[in-house]
Structure 1
Amino acid sequence: MTDQPNPLNTKEGEAQLLQDLLSAERAGAKVAGDSLKQCNDDAQRKVLEQVHRGEVDSCKLVLSCLQHLGLEPNREVGAFYDKAMAIESLDERLPFIDRGQRWVIRKLKEYLPGCQDPVIRKELEKMLEIHEVNSLLAH
């Protein structure tokens, strides 16, 4: 067994992860915001409002990491947006939104153990907590 470093914990892997996370968080914020416009159910509204806040806050955290590294943020909205909005029913869209939350959780849990930068670690640990709370709320 070789001790290969996690590709996410290389300079290139870290930069790509942060850009991917930024695109995904933008998509999540847009999905939650647009879904709120369609929402008539108080329980769903509460979940969507919480997810929207979390996605916006996560965008800020990722932007902070990119700025810390001196990297220019992309301007992309992830493909998650189109996939989520293609699901017409909010009852069916909410579990899909939660799958997006869990994707971010998986990526962060894969990356964080090898993260050597205390600034990035702190920001992404906050982001992980936001997504874990929001994923629990969505159930």
Structure 2
Amino acid sequence: MTGDRASPVCYGADADDVYMGYAPRDEILAALNELLEAERAGARVALASVGDAVSADHAAMMRDIRADEARWCAMLTRQIRRLGGTPSRRCGAFRGKAMAISDPIERLAFLNRGQAWVVRKLAELTRRVRDDALHADLRQMAESHRVNIDGAAAFLDEVGRSDP
């Protein structure tokens, strides 16, 4: 027996992100722009819903959600630019669908389902993002949406119209 039994050197750390199972830059940029359009739609729905609120608490919640959505629009725009992309200027179709709901409580329930959709999209995306700064921002965004979802669900329960 010759004495050399060492494994060959692993070059995994030098491998391309796509090879390692992470999303390519173009896929990440497309997902970030889709989220940006959805957040922009959510911000506009929340802002428009302040005037339709059934109570001061409802109006305050809509203002808080609008501010939160605007915060994430800014983060997504910043990250898209950092990655060398162009932020979308479009507003997601969610806005039109939500604003077609005249009852403010039903619109809030719909908005809450939209927030849950964003959380699911973020969960799918974060598994495929290697960039630490982007990953951290997306995790914070998901947590913030969960807080909004819980707050809206509690309000909906309080008014007796919880979403199934």
Asked if these proteins are the same fold (TM beyond 0.5), I'd say: yes
- Give, in whole Å, the separation in 2 of the partners of 1:74 and 1:114: 21
Match of 2:103 in 1: 89
- Greater Rg, structure 1 or structure 2? 2
- The alignment's C-alpha RMSD in Å is 1.7
Report the identity percentage: 35
- Give, in whole Å, the separation in 2 of the partners of 1:56 and 1:23: 11
- The Cα of 1:84 is off from its aligned counterpart by 0.1
Amino acid at match of 1:47: M
- The Cα of 1:114 is off from its aligned counterpart by 2.2
Query: Alignment length, in residue pairs?
Result: 135
1:79 and 2:109 matched? no
- Give, in whole Å, the separation in 1 of the partners of 2:24 and 2:86: 18
- The Cα of 1:45 is off from its aligned counterpart by 1.4
1:24 and 2:58 matched? no
Query: Which secondary structure does the structure 2 equivalent of 1:38 belong to?
Result: coil
Structure 1 unaligned blocks of 5 or more: none
- The Cα of 1:46 is off from its aligned counterpart by 2.5
Query: Which secondary structure does the structure 1 equivalent of 2:143 belong to?
Result: helix
- Give, in whole Å, the separation in 1 of the partners of 2:24 and 2:56: 44
> Which structure's relative contact order is higher, taking Cα pairs within 8 Å and 6+ residues apart?
1
Amino acid at match of 2:24: T
8 Å CA contact 1:105, 1:128 repeated in 2: yes
Amino acid at match of 1:52: R
Query: Which secondary structure does the structure 2 equivalent of 1:115 belong to?
Result: coil
Q: Of 120, 127, 131, which aligns to 2:145?
A: 131
More helix by share: 1
For residues 95-110 of structure 1, the aligned pairs below 5 Å read 95-110=109-124
- The Cα of 1:43 is off from its aligned counterpart by 2.4
TM-score normalized by structure 2?
0.77
Query: Which secondary structure does the structure 2 equivalent of 1:88 belong to?
Result: coil
